[in-house]
Each structure stands twice: as C-alpha cells, then as structure tokens.
C-alpha cells in the first residue's frame, strides 16, 4: 500500500482526516520481531509490507484476535470476522492492520472493511482477503479456521474521521477490485454518522457520498448487496455506480440499474467535482495514478485527493 496525501483543510478537528505523517514512527510488536513481512498483493517485488510501510504511522497496541466468522465473499475473496481481545485496540475507517500469523514468517497487510462501530459494539472487525500465493493470503484461504488465533496492529494514514465541529464535506469514493475494502469501511462509517445525526440531532453533519466501483465482473463486486442496502436506506445521500470490465454472464435485474460495462470513464468522475468534496481512491496503482492526475487536471486541490495503492 502507499500512503494518502496530507491533512485536508476541509477537516480541521484535532484528529482530522489523517494521522500526522511524521508524528510517530512505526513500532514493532514485542515478542514478534522474528516476523519478516511481505507486500500485500500480487506484486512479486521483493519489498515486503513492513518495509514498504516502514515510515507510515502505526498504533502501539498489538492485540491477539480469534477468527469467529468466515464467509466466501466471492470466488476469490474470503471475509474474516475477528474477535479482538485488547479493549484499547481502535482504528479509524480506512486504516489497515499488520496481520501476524503464528508459524508464518511473513507479515500480511490488509485493509479493514468493517465500520469502527462494529469494534465498539462487538469487539470485532472484518477483513476481506483476495486469494494469492502471498503466504498470509494463502493461509487465510487454505488453513484459517474458526478459532484460529492471530495478532493485529493498526496502521495507515488513509482514513476518514471527522469531528463534530468540522465543516460538512461530500465524499467521492473510487474503488478498483479489492480496493473497495477501506472504502467500504468509510461508507459504513458514513452511514453511522447519518444515523447518529438522525437519532440524536447532533454530531457531525455529513454531506453526500458517491461510490464509483470497478471490478472484472459482478461476482467480484464485493459487498454489493450491503452497498445497495445503504443507498436504499439513505436515498439522495449515499449513491453508487458499478462498472464491470470483463462481464460474460447476464447481469441480474437487481444490479442492472447500477452497472455499466467498461472502465470508469473520466466523465463520470467529472460529474461529481465540486467544492467541499474529498476524493478517496483505492485500487491498482495505474488506476489511482490515472484518476489522481485527472482530478488535478480538473483543478481539484491536491489536499482533497486521498489515495491508497494496492501493490
């Protein structure tokens, strides 16, 4: 993964949108120094996850966790629910975890796909892991079982965590493939912000959210039904568009109104360029580089473009 840009002037709370880039140096968990780490996707580059993210903020807390749920999200992606034991363990929507597996001498790095509220309410978080030959991913798909124990440490400077006094902003979320994971966490957190505002009449005033999500086919559109449920629960506030690049089967009636065949076109992004808007991008590096350059060419301020690259 690569880091996001810098803190946005649109959000000026003490926590802000991102952790200060140089505020804290990364810390390794005590007793786990023998793990060597690895990159977090298909890349065959020798730079591993811990090396690639060495200068990225990490929490001090390393918590043990137990697998309490396993679901095949698609033919290639497995979703885990993990029960976290340390009560001081926290994360912000969009962050990732270092994933330590006993007996596996490689550290994984996976973005959290669940909302922070799930951790607060049930002491749980979720990860959706794509099948690759990378040892942590391979373990998730071939050896992980209910009751398996791992250790987790939160890191990352790509997150959305507005404070009640911050100015209202709109979000445009642009995802490619498993890059939906941190953006799904942000989307769920936004829904929590809407609910809190509706129920309590106070808290952060969230603007509108538009998700543009591309995958090879509709089977690989992760969390699609939950995303559609959110659009129905918050009409006019949460909106989504799906794009499929290699669809061969007929698209279901349920999805048809939301799906376009082909890549995300520049024009669809241009429709949602406006003031007081933050753009969160996560996916393959070429896609992120293309869209971030295009947004800059459309005079979107750099500090409003936030990205995470999956290597």
Do 241 and 267 contact (CB within 8 A), yes or no? no
Find where tokens 């793990």 sit: 35
Q: Quick one: average pLDDT of 233-238?
A: 98
What is the rounded CA–CA span in Å between residue 237 and residue 245?
Answer: 27
Query: Per-residue pLDDT for 38 more than 70?
Result: no
Given a cut of 50, whether residue 74 has pLDDT beyond it is: yes
CATH code, domain carrying 112: 2.40.30.10
Torsions phi, psi for 209 (to 5 deg) = -130, 130
> Each residue of 236-294: pLDDT tens digit?
999 999 999 999 999 999 999 999 999 999 999 999 999 999 999 999 999 999 999 99
Q: What is the CB neighbour count within 10 angstroms for residue 286?
A: 10
Report CA-CA distances (Å) from 295 to 158, 238, 280, 298, 303. Answer: 18, 21, 11, 5, 11
Instruction: Tell me how far CA of residue 58 lies from CA of 26, 28, 66, 181, 266, in angstroms.
Output: 5, 9, 21, 19, 34
* pLDDT at residue 101, rounded to an integer: 98
- The rounded distance, in Å, linking the Cα atoms of 162 and 12 is 8
**pLDDT tens across 4-34, in order?**
433 344 443 323 333 222 222 333 333 222 2
What lies within 8 Å, CB to CB, of 144 at 6+ separation is 67, 70, 78, 80
In a domain, 222, yes or no: yes
* 56 falls within a domain: yes
223: left (phi over 0), alpha (psi -120 to 50) or beta: left
Nearest to 130 by CA among 119, 122, 138, 118: 138
Domain boundary among 98, 127, 155: 155
Compute the CA torsion angle 261, 238, 113, 122 (nearest 10 deg).
Answer: -150
* Contact partners, residue 256, CB within 8 Å, separation at least 6: none
- The answer on pLDDT for 39 being more than 90 is no
Would you call 309 helix, strand, or coil by DSSP? strand
Note whether 133 and 228 are same-domain residues: no
Pick the residue with more confidence: 26 or 188? 188
One domain for residues 181 and 149: no
Nearest-angstrom CA–CA distance, 222 and 63: 27
Domain ranges, residue 150: 49-155
- For residues 70 and 122, state if they share a domain: yes
Lowest mean pLDDT among 10-24, 64-78, 101-115: 10-24
In-domain check, residue 290: yes
Domains: count for the chain: 2
Return the pLDDT at 308. 81
Q: Please choose, from the candidates 31, 48, 50, the residue with its C-alpha nearest in 3D space to the C-alpha of residue 39.
A: 48
198-226: average pLDDT: 97
pLDDT digits (tens, 9 = 90+) for 112-169: 999 999 999 999 999 999 999 999 999 999 999 999 999 999 999 999 999 999 999 9
Residues 232 and 301 both lie in one domain: yes
- Once rounded to an integer, what is the mean pLDDT over residues 93-120? 97
Residue that finishes a domain, picked among 155, 187, 203: 155
Pair 119, 218 in one domain: no
> Is the pLDDT at 174 greater than 80, yes or no?
yes
Same domain membership, residue 77 and residue 54: yes
My answer on whether 241 and 289 are in the same domain is yes
Q: Which residues, in sequence order, are CB contacts of 250 under 8 Å at separation 6+?
A: none
Q: Residues 138, 259: one domain?
A: no
Q: Enter the tokens of residue 33.
A: 């120094």
DSSP 196-252: HHHHHS-S-----EEEEEEESSGGG-TTHHHHHHHHHHSTTTEEEEEEESS--SPPP
Rounded mean pLDDT, 223-227: 97
Q: Supply the mean pLDDT for the chain.
A: 87
Question: Distance between CA 190 and CA 204 in Å, rounded?
Answer: 10
Supply the pLDDT for residue 21.
Answer: 27
Q: Residue 48 has what pLDDT?
A: 85
Res 28: pLDDT: 31
Domain stop point among 155, 180, 214? 155
Residue count of the chain: 311
The confidence band for 311, taking pLDDT boundaries of 50, 70 and 90, is: low
CA distance 281 to 183: 8
């Amino acid at each position: 993964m690569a880091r996001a840009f810098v803190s946005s002037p649109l959000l000026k709370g003490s926590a802000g949108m991102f952790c200060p880039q140089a505020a804290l140096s990364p810390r390794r968990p005590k007793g786990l120094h023998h793990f060597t780490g690895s990159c977090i996707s298909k890349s065959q580059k020798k730079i591993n996850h811990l090396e690639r993210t060495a200068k990225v903020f990490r929490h001090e807390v390393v918590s043990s966790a137990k697998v309490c749920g396993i679901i095949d999200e698609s033919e290639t992606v497995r979703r885990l629910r993990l029960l976290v034991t340390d009560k001081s363990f926290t994360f912000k929507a969009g962050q990732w975890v270092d994933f330590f597996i006993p007996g596996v001498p490689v550290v994984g790095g996976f973005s959290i796909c669940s909302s922070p509220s799930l951790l607060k309410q049930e002491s749980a978080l979720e990860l959706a892991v794509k099948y690759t030959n990378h040892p942590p991913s391979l373990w998730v798909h071939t050896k992980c079982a209910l009751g398996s124990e791992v250790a987790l440490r939160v890191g990352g400077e790509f997150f959305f965590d507005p404070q009640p006094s911050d100015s209202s902003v709109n979000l445009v979320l642009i995802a490619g493939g498993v890059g939906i994971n941190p953006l799904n966490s942000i989307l769920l957190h936004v829904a929590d912000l809407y609910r809190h505002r509706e129920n309590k009449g106070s808290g952060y005033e969230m603007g509108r959210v538009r998700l543009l999500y591309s995958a090879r086919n509709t089977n690989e559109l992760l969390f699609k039904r939950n995303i559609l449920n959110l659009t129905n629960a918050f009409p006019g506030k949460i909106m989504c568009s799906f794009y499929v690049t290699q669809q061969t089967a007929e698209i279901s009636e349920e999805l048809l109104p939301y799906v376009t065949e082909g890549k995300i076109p520049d024009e669809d992004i241009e429709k949602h360029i406006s003031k007081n808007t933050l753009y969160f991008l996560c996916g393959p590096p070429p896609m992120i580089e293309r869209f971030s350059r295009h947004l800059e060419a459309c005079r979107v301020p750099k500090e409003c473009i936030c990205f995470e690259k999956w290597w």
